[in-house]
Structure 1
Amino acid sequence: MKKLSVLFIAFFSAIILVACGNDDSSSSSSGTQVISQTSNNYYQGVIKNGHYLTSKSRGVSVQQNDNQLNLKGFENGLLSISKDQFPTDTYILQEGQYIDTNTAENWLGRKSKSNPDGLNPSGKDTEVPLYLQQMDEQDFMEQSHGDLKIKGMTIGLGINSVYYYRKEAYGAVYQKTLDDKEIVKQGKAIADKVLQRLRKNKDLKDIPIVIALYKQASNDSLVGGNFFAYSVNKDGATSVDNWKSLDIKNYVLPDETSSEVNTNDEDAFENFKNQVQKFFPNLSGVTAQAHYVDGTLRGMHINITTQFYGQSEIISFTQYVQTTAKKYLPNSIPIDVQISSSEGIQSFLARKTGAKNFYSHVFTSY
């Protein structure tokens, strides 16, 4: 189910990228083009020499991240933080070009004689946890006379909540749950060092640099992690001293362990689930990922796994889900529903904030 969820998000990302199209504004001297903006919700992107300009350090992490939802939650959450500081109607998003792959690998490693730039503490893997798991850089540009100049930057730091390690090569995997206070302490200390290093680059000496801290979920979690603090560093500041806390949580519904989920939200989903299962019993599961900000439900992603494959049945089921979701689920938040079987995605539904009706699509095989 987690793999299908990631594929679903990737599918939408591809649609958004294709929909952007090409813009007629470009720099002939550098071969750089700016992707046209189709909505104020999205940044304009950058194409260089006919190719989308990807991050120089994309995909670099300390070790294999078994929970792909951490990666998506990290990227999407970081983008939301950036939008608050660098409005989409003013800035152009260029994926990170200042922290290259080699630098990222060194920073994500342990500090040692052979790697003095390591941001993770020195010591043996079996004794000292690795805290910094992943990082991402977003550059925010302004265009002037065909040239792009960097005017701001956001750095996301993914901090482990659980440390996984082996006592011997190819041996059993052990885990250690990390203390929340230590996660915050280590994250803020690492952020301070990152800011100092970035300021040494003449292009980054005076621009505002946002640094955000993300607490990674465990590998077996059905939801991704969450950002818990960020800092906006202006006027060439070389130390982080103004952190702002974030209250962002993700939960799986139905929830049988946490008392933090709003009862009304849980009841609404339970009613939706019961109605769907009552009329279509051939279902393997109905679950939801609920996204909360400051204790308020801000979004919901629902996964429904079926055991039927007939096209007419899928169409009827999709229509029924649409009617039932409209009746029982909250109408003030964005909601998407993914319907799938063991063979892949069968259909999906989505509704934006404030919209009355769901958009739906049934996948057809030819």
Structure 2
Amino acid sequence: MKKFLHILVLLAAALTLTACGNLKNSDLANNAKTSNTKTKTYQTTDTGNNGYTVLLKNGHYVTSPIAGLTATGNDNSVDTREIERGLVQISKGVYSTNSYVFQEGQYISAATANDWLARKSKSNPSGLNPEQGEKKHYKPFYLEEILEQDYLTGSGSNYHIGGISIGLAMNSIDYYQKTTGGPEYQEQISRTAQTTAGQTAAEQIVMRLRQRKALKKIPITIGLFSKTSKDSLVGGTYFLSGTAAANSSKITKWKSISAQAEVLPTVGNKKAINSSDASSFNSFKESIQNYFPNISGVTAILRYENGKLSQENISITTQFYGYEQVQSFTRLVLSTAKKYLANDVPIEIKIGSVNDIQALVAKETGDSSYQVHIYGGE
């Protein structure tokens, strides 16, 4: 249980990276200048279940200077998590978890990212969004966010950059005002337009990164992500990825990514992606609601890759606070999950009131056992 809780802490710090265990000290000369009088100390975490070892500096997780930057402020927290998680999954197909160490991106500065996310203009020729059009011919912001992830190779004190992954979050809807303080309008952006704008931006970014000495001879992977609407309960998905080989400034082949996500129960007459998965969730939901009638809501976010369920996250909102009630209900959720939910995918079930998380029932991989933690309990 202690190991499980430690994993949760690291997940909160590193979001989608699975990393846990003891720290390993190394004096790492990693693209950072060191003082003659004070040597910087680096550590790595032990790798977890099919995850990357994470690089720490002076015992601290290294964050990216461009995290959270957006072109227009169209920021959805569920998108943010999926942009990072999805890029890690793409990267695993290029940079082996056995050979590369992860670190949040350090090569693109905040100033550079802001210039790239802005519109192209005489004063900002590096802008990757189109020039401002006339009022009758509005040109939307296509590129909303840029995410950088660095993958390092080596051992001991000889780690160095081995590859970079860049996530480009493309708007599916651009929100704008014709006049300051005026009504908000929406511009729908097709997948074809997302693809064209995303691939064009990717080519420019690869060429610009190649101008840096440290990045001339490493692979550069680009993923194109489609953002959802501002009020969506489920995050967007990646739809294309490609890699510029070492010494190349061209992505010669783009790979389509088949990914879908949905919220259950569905609303209105919308059909579920997979009727069997929806039926299993409904059976789970009805079972726990029949046992404890004072349940405010049970919802799930299901993610699919290549048509197959890859992850299921369930949220249960309760209206009780008693210790024994939470204990009893958590045991019920565990047994019901084992009975009705898929056995071969990661599952996370959060139980909580409106204000607090009361318990967590989860399994990290398809073949692992459920772990249970009751907050404030045993």
Deviation at 1:89, TM superposition (A): 1.4
Deviation at 1:44, TM superposition (A): 2.4
TM-score (norm 1): 0.91
Whether 1:82 and 2:83 are equivalent positions in the alignment is: no
Q: How does 1:1-366 map to 2 (within 5 A)?
A: 12-14=11-13, 19-27=20-28, 30-39=39-48, 41-124=50-133, 127-143=138-154, 146-256=157-267, 257-259=269-271, 261-355=273-367, 357-364=369-376
Superposed CA deviations along residues 225-249 of structure 1, whole A, max 9, x for unmatched, are 0000100111322122310000011
Amino acid aligned to 2:70: S
Q: Name the stretch that deviates more: 247-256 or 296-305.
A: 247-256
Superposed CA deviations along residues 314-357 of structure 1, whole A, max 9, x for unmatched, are 11111111111110111111111011111211111002334474
> How far apart, CA to CA, are the structure 1 residues paired with 2:18 and 2:273?
34
8 Å CA contact 1:107–1:118 kept in 2: the answer is yes
Residues paired across the two proteins, number: 359
Amino acid aligned to 1:13: A
Superposed CA deviations along residues 19-61 of structure 1, whole A, max 9, x for unmatched, are 4443122248551413131425232223334543221322211
8 Å CA contact 1:34–1:44 kept in 2: the answer is no
Deviation at 1:284, TM superposition (A): 1.4
Secondary structure of the corresponding residue to residue 69 of structure 1: helix
> How far apart, CA to CA, are the structure 2 residues paired with 1:350 and 1:27?
35
Superposed CA deviations along residues 63-103 of structure 1, whole A, max 9, x for unmatched, are 32442000000011111111121112111112211100100
8 Å CA contact 2:349–2:362 kept in 1: the answer is yes
> How far apart, CA to CA, are the structure 2 residues paired with 1:143 and 1:34?
13
Q: Give the 3 Å change call, closer, same or farther, for CA 57–310 of structure 1 in structure 2.
A: same
Secondary structure of the corresponding residue to residue 273 of structure 1: helix
8 Å CA contact 1:40–1:88 kept in 2: the answer is no
Deviation at 1:168, TM superposition (A): 2.5
TM-score (norm 2): 0.88
8 Å CA contact 1:120–1:132 kept in 2: the answer is yes
8 Å CA contact 2:10–2:20 kept in 1: the answer is no
8 Å CA contact 1:331–1:353 kept in 2: the answer is no
Q: Give the 3 Å change call, closer, same or farther, for CA 191–364 of structure 1 in structure 2.
A: same
> How far apart, CA to CA, are the structure 1 residues paired with 2:312 and 2:300?
7
Amino acid aligned to 1:107: W
- What is the RMSD computed on CA atoms of the aligned residues? 2.4
8 Å CA contact 1:125–1:165 kept in 2: the answer is no
Q: Give the 3 Å change call, closer, same or farther, for CA 124–280 of structure 1 in structure 2.
A: farther
Amino acid aligned to 1:116: P
8 Å CA contact 2:144–2:169 kept in 1: the answer is yes
Q: Give the 3 Å change call, closer, same or farther, for CA 139–357 of structure 1 in structure 2.
A: closer
Amino acid aligned to 2:57: K
Q: Give the 3 Å change call, closer, same or farther, for CA 318–159 of structure 1 in structure 2.
A: same
8 Å CA contact 1:331–1:356 kept in 2: the answer is no
> How far apart, CA to CA, are the structure 2 residues paired with 1:100 and 1:263?
45
Q: Give the 3 Å change call, closer, same or farther, for CA 47–9 of structure 1 in structure 2.
A: closer
Secondary structure of the corresponding residue to residue 135 of structure 1: strand
> How far apart, CA to CA, are the structure 2 residues paired with 1:248 and 1:208?
24
